[in-house]
Amino acid sequence: MRSEALQAEAAIARLPQWILGLAAVGTLAVALIWGFRSGGGFLLGSLGAWVNLRLLIRAVDRIGRLAVNGNTKDVRPAQSGIVVFIQLMALVLGAFVILRLSGFNKIAVLCGFLVCPAAVILEILYELLKYDHS
């Protein structure tokens, strides 16, 4: 039986794959049913969810490493905070400009952004079905 930490890391590593799979299937379905603009919006929202998850994983890993190791030599708090803030603002500004200028369906973008919670639910179901009872 794997340790809980390894199992959790494997689940987190599978989340981006779930998101990309849901993005591909969802984009195709939305584009076929509601058209190109809605499909593009769903794809845009899905990619935003993927980028958001990657940024969160990276930030939490950095905080976790700092908490476990206690080594602050390679971490500069002021610079790290500024870099994270600049990345977040670039993501928000980019999303705003794309939504305002692209003509994609905004509701479809919001639905695409919800692939992250859907991926988490799929991962939970996967873990429940895969769970070995030994």
State pLDDT tens for residues 86-127: 888 887 888 788 778 888 888 998 899 999 999 999 999 998
Number of domains in the chain: 1
Torsion of CA 42, 45, 47, 49, to 10 degrees: -130
| Separation CA 57–CA 13 (nearest Å) | 9
Per the structure, the complete domain to which residue 117 belongs is given by: 4-130
pLDDT of residue 97: 81
pLDDT of residue 43: 94
Question: What is the pTM for the complete model shown?
Answer: 0.78
| Separation CA 44–CA 116 (nearest Å) | 13
| Separation CA 45–CA 59 (nearest Å) | 21
